[in-house]
Amino acid sequence: MLDIKFLRQNIDFVRVKMDERGQKIDFDRFLALDAKRRDLLQAVETLRNERNSVSKQVGELKKKKEDASELIAKMGDVSAKIKEYDDTLRVTEEELNAFVMIVPNVQHESVPQGTGSEDNPVVRTWGEKPAFTFEPKQHFDLGEALGILDFARGAKITGARFTLYRGAGAALERAIFNFMLDLHTTEHGYTEVLTPFMVNADSMTGTGQLPKFKEDLFKIEGLEYYLIPTAEVPVTNIYRDEILDEEMLPVYYVAYSPCFRAEAGSYGKDTRGLIRQHQFNKVEMVKFARPETSYDELEKLTANAEEVLKRLGIPFRTVCLCSGDLGFSSAKTYDVEAWMPGQDTYREISSCSNFEDFQARRAAIRFRRKDTGKTEFVHTLNGSGLAVGRTVVAVLENYQQADGSVIIPEALRPYMRGLERITP
RNA sequence: GGAGAGAUGGCUGAGUGGCCGAAAGCGAUCGCCUGCUAAGCGAUUGUACGCCCUUUAAAGGUGUACCGCGGGUUCGAAUCCCGCUCUCUCCGCCA
């Protein structure tokens, strides 16, 4: 969330920024609530001050065995009034809080303006698209023919958007996330963490999934626990409500996790195959950084994601999300899109974002400046490194052969007991 | 699932109705002392939100809140009462 003080003092700037994001937000309501809150706060604090000092007098009188009944009677009224103001104040603060919680982040000045994904500029392209002497197939046709992806049985076991992997398919999925974890831990400086896959409501609020995106989450029956839609949630919340030492920053974490998404509102979109599942695996990179380095960290993070595709020999391009396409919590996002020959298009395989202090403020993740001793919010970043299921799609489609077999990229062979090719 | 114990500042730990934002110790920071280091001495040492002052900064002043969380009793709650959460111990169960 944004800082209330910042919002109050820069309301016109924020109005413009939200306009660029295509967000319609009633900031007049905010200003009214904020003013109301401060008025009430002053009133109630004045009354509390009175009660505190009079109560002290009562104590002194009683110690001297003198009569204090007059003061006590008077304070009864004051206490009643405090309760009354407190109730109004609480309601006002709840309204104000609810308002601030659904205001998106302010985008960085380098974010291009635009209204949708068609306006996202391509910042880099890498690799040569494979030339086929035949019509390249889509991954679901390849996978079913090879007997490594079973969508029908996934649907039987659970339902639509769940898939059963078998044999070399299951091994490929596992090989891919192990390869990614090893790359990020041994060469990119990340520390691996393995987190709970269910989190409480505070954690979901800290990273911004709640309260605004409740319908995208799976909730556990009878508990205030949710299945994570990304490891960003448990990993970023590692330091919720903590004050970190400046020297420990930046912190780099990488985590494997399954991700669970309700995909409300995507009916009919990517209905076939692995692209859009209710459950998929992902390797996620998360950083906690000092504000002055966070944009350098974003570039490095994105490069770390791209490196996975380079090692796998999968062509990709990187786009910078424009103002209208930016996610709720993000100040700046790069999407890395892998080339998918079967679909004859690039598909998002990683999304790398700098949230600046937006999540840190919600989650109360701060650090103490060594030179001033002051606390400040950290900047949080994260990026997929990468989405595993979509990487399987990219491998199958880019490495498919005329006979329907699939060559295993060399980087993955050590993770598949040397297997070089998947054949029916 | 059953029984019991507990939750206080960066840490240890005192505090059972007002003098408690909270003793003491440790740690940390600054200063003094000192050939150097260590020891010693002194001072400082939580967070948030308002208001005043100020350039809408910092610093300063002032007020309020916070002793796991939420309610209640009371003129007044870290302290008493109720509910919840979490932690620990024992028993049972279990991978």
Average pLDDT, stretch A175-189?
A: 98
What is the per-residue pLDDT for A70?
Answer: 84
Give domain status of residue A361, yes or no: yes
CATH number of the domain where residue A291 is located: 3.30.930.10
Catalytic residues of A: 261, 276, 348, 351, 390
Distance A53 CA to B41 C1' (A): 39
- In this structure, are A49 and A196 located in the same domain? no
- In this structure, are A54 and A130 located in the same domain? no
pLDDT tens-digit map of A158-180: 999 999 999 999 999 999 999 99
Q: What is the DSSP letter of A42?
A: H
Q: How far apart are CA A138 and CA A168, in angstroms?
A: 18
What is the per-residue pLDDT for A176?
Answer: 98
- In this structure, are A62 and A196 located in the same domain? no
Residue A351 scores a pLDDT above 90: yes
pLDDT tens-digit map of A88-122: 998 899 899 989 999 999 999 999 999 999 999 99
pLDDT tens-digit map of A304-330: 999 999 999 999 999 999 999 999 999
Where is A356: in which H helix or E strand?
none
Residue A181 scores a pLDDT above 90: yes
- In this structure, are A84 and A198 located in the same domain? no
Query: Is any atom of strand B within 7 angstroms of residue A417's beta carbon?
Result: no
Determine what percent of chain A is predicted with pLDDT higher than 70: 100
The protein footprint on chain B, as nucleotides within 7 A of a CB, is 18, 47-51, 56, 59, 63-65, 71, 74-76
- In this structure, are A128 and A55 located in the same domain? no
Residue A74 scores a pLDDT above 90: no
Average pLDDT, stretch A215-220?
A: 91
Mean pLDDT of chain A: 93
Average pLDDT, stretch A351-380?
A: 90
What is the per-residue pLDDT for A395?
Answer: 98
The sign of the dihedral angle between the CA atoms of A110, A111, A114, A119 is positive
Residue A399 scores a pLDDT above 90: yes
Average pLDDT, stretch A351-363?
A: 94
R_g of chain A, CA atoms, integer Å: 27
Check residues A136 and A206 and name the one with the higher pLDDT. A136
Q: How far apart are CA A231 and CA A382, in angstroms?
A: 10
Residue A296 scores a pLDDT above 90: yes
What is the per-residue pLDDT for A73?
Answer: 86
Residue in A237, A213, A416 with CA at minimum distance from that of residue A328: A213
Give domain status of residue A108, yes or no: no
Q: How far apart are CA A162 and CA A61, in angstroms?
A: 74
Q: Are A405 and A422 in contact (CB under 8 A)?
A: yes
Give domain status of residue A89, yes or no: yes
DSSP secondary structure of A111-151? SPP-SSGGGPPEEEEES-PPP-SS-PPPHHHHHHHHTSEEH
Residues 56-85 of A with CB under 7 A from strand B: 56, 58-59, 62, 72, 75-76, 78-79
What is the per-residue pLDDT for A217?
Answer: 93
What is the per-residue pLDDT for A264?
Answer: 84
Query: Is any atom of strand B within 7 angstroms of residue A14's beta carbon?
Result: no
DSSP secondary structure of A75-109? HHHHHHHHHHHHHHHHHHHHHHHHHHHTSPPPPPT
Q: Are A350 and A310 in contact (CB under 8 A)?
A: no
- In this structure, are A68 and A204 located in the same domain? no
pLDDT band at A274 (very low <50, low <70, confident <90, very high): very high
Residue in A330, A339, A350 with CA at minimum distance from that of residue A285: A350
What is the per-residue pLDDT for A62?
Answer: 84
- In this structure, are A88 and A129 located in the same domain? no
Greatest Cα pair distance in chain A = 104
Task: Quote ipTM for the complex.
Answer: 0.87
CATH number of the domain where residue A50 is located: 1.10.287.40
Give the end of a domain, one of A67, A101, A135: A101
Point out the least confidently predicted range of A59-63, A130-134, A139-143, A377-381: A59-63
Domain tally, chain A: 2
Query: Is any atom of strand B within 7 angstroms of residue A249's beta carbon?
Result: no
- In this structure, are A322 and A179 located in the same domain? yes
Neighbours of A221 (CB within 10 A): 5
**Which phi-psi region, left, alpha or beta, contains residue A192 (left: φ > 0; alpha: ψ -120 to 50)?**
beta
What is the per-residue pLDDT for A221?
Answer: 82
Q: Are A85 and A301 in contact (CB under 8 A)?
A: no
What is the per-residue pLDDT for A269?
Answer: 85
Q: Are A296 and A302 in contact (CB under 8 A)?
A: no
A399-406 own/partner pairs: CB under 8 Å, 24+ apart: A399/A130, A400/A132, A400/A136, A400/A137, A400/A142, A400/A341, A400/A342, A402/A132, A402/A133, A402/A134, A404/A137, A404/A142, A404/A145, A404/A146, A405/A146, A406/A142, A406/A146
Structural domain boundaries, residue A80: 4-101
Q: In one letter, which amino acid is A30?
A: F
Average pLDDT, stretch A190-215?
A: 91
Give the end of a domain, one of A48, A71, A101: A101
Average pLDDT, stretch A257-268?
A: 89
Using the CA of A373, which nucleotide's C1' is the nearest one?
A: B29
Cα–Cα–Cα angle for A161, A320, A101, nearest 5°? Answer: 70
Average pLDDT, stretch A15-39?
A: 94
